[in-house]
Structure 1
Amino acid sequence: MKKIVLAALTALTLLSACNTVSGFGKDVSKAGDKLEQSADRHAH
C-alpha cells in the first residue's frame, strides 16, 4: 500500500514539474517575441 501511494505521489510531482517547465518555456518565448518586436520597431 505504501509503495502505491509513493508511486502516485512521485508521478504527480513529476507531472506537475513538467507542466511548470512547459509554462516557463512559454513565458520565455513570449518575452523573446516582445523583444524581437521592439527591436524591429526601433530598427526601421
Structure 2
Amino acid sequence: MKKIFALTIIATFILTGCNTISGMGKDIQKAGQAVQGASGH
C-alpha cells in the first residue's frame, strides 16, 4: 500500500514536470511531507 502511494506521488510529479532543479527539490520536499502526513508522524 505504501509503495503504491509513493509511486503515485512520484508519477504525478513526473507527469506534471519540473522546469528547474530548484523546482524539483521543492516537489520532492512536498512529497516527503505528504508521506509523513500519511504515516501519522
Unaligned runs of 5+ in 2: 1-18
Unaligned runs of 5+ in 1: 1-18
Kindly indicate whether structure 1 or structure 2 has the higher relative contact order, using CA contacts under 8 Å at least 6 residues apart: 2
Question: Greater share of helix residues, 1 or 2?
Answer: 1
- Please provide the CA RMSD for this pair: 1.9
Flag the structure with larger Rg: 1
After the TM superposition, which residues 19-34 of structure 1 pair with which residues of structure 2 at under 5 Å, given as runs? 20-34=20-34
Number of residue pairs matched?
23
TM-score by length of 1: 0.48
The AA in structure 2 aligned to 1:37 is G
